[in-house]
Amino acid sequence: MTDTPPPEHSSPVGPVDATRTPRYTEPGTFARLPRVDQVERVDVAVVGVPFDSGVSYRPGARFGPGHVRTSSKLLRPYHPGLDIEPFHRQQVADAGDIAVNPFDLHDAITTIERSADALRADGAQLLTIGGDHTIALPLLRSMFRDHGPIAVVHFDAHLDTWDTYFGAPYTHGTPFRRASEEGLLDLEHCLHIGIRGPLYSRQDLTDDAVLGFQTIHADDYETAGTAAVIERMRARLGNRPVYVSVDIDVLDPAHAPGTGTPEAGGLTSRELLTTLRGLVGIDVVGADIVEVAPAYDHAEITGIAAAHVGFELLGVLAANRGA
């Protein structure tokens, strides 16, 4: 006797029911969702990239995917802010981690790009958990093949459009310069949000503008308010395909101590989550959450913030999918 295959459009399989199975038990997937091999289709794949060979200061982001998954166990299936059930409107599954070479950065970048292509081959969108910000470049290369030039909304304390570190062109501080130089970006629609702290020189800002970015500084949340930031973000992104890249250090160290390059004066977790909610109706084609370094975290503060960022992004993707 053989199992009867499920119907072509069966209902999505959601997280393990926390009213029947305690949250501190298995599975160890994001939000205790099924693995990709346990479902018939995948609308959104949550994939980890345990890689930090591109960092310039404190290492440890290679342990980020596991930490964020552990910190996601308390997520629940209903999103009251959007009045939506992200795991019921779309099939979300955990694709595990991409095994990248920790000794050869170029090989790692190639592996990430090819793995992203494979995961997206049947139309799945990716929510990627890093890992350091170097991973954004191969992910954008993969997205470009389907969408052409992409508008990036980049949440970060830092510009990440520098040229090199110690002569190395591929680091966690250079992905968006390389992406712009390679023609992957829509230069009229890219935006940084949350930038703050000292720079190397005024030329950093001049170079950044040429590469296609406008900037909303962290201080703008204080002077203009979150609603104005969201309005400006939506106007800049327009109707272009959008990639969302969230460096967890966009948050103030009080809200995310577990990261490699912390800067004072950042966003609160509430400001970040509210801003991400403002992406409903924007053509989001993929997203990442990077630079979670659990060795510097306390009581899962950073991991929990990152897990909620992931839930917010999944809510946006579900809302954009329609009823």
List, for residues 79-132, the tens digit of each pLDDT value.
999 999 999 999 999 999 999 999 999 999 999 999 999 999 999 999 999 999
**134 assigned to some structural domain:** yes
**83 assigned to some structural domain:** yes
**What's 197's domain CATH number?**
3.40.800.10
Question: pLDDT tens digits, residue range 240-274?
Answer: 999 999 999 999 999 999 999 999 999 999 999 99
**59 assigned to some structural domain:** yes
Contact 237, 153 (CB under 8 A): yes
pLDDT, position 9? 58
**Alpha helices per DSSP H over the chain:** 64-71, 86-89, 105-120, 136-147, 175-181, 203-210, 219-223, 226-237, 269-277, 301-321
Which band of pLDDT confidence, cut at 50, 70 and 90, is reported for residue 10?
A: confident
In total, how many domains does the chain have? 1
**229 assigned to some structural domain:** yes
**241 assigned to some structural domain:** yes
pTM for the whole structure? 0.96
> How far does CA 38 lie from the centroid of its chain?
24
**65 assigned to some structural domain:** yes
Domain that holds residue 303: 30-321
**132 assigned to some structural domain:** yes
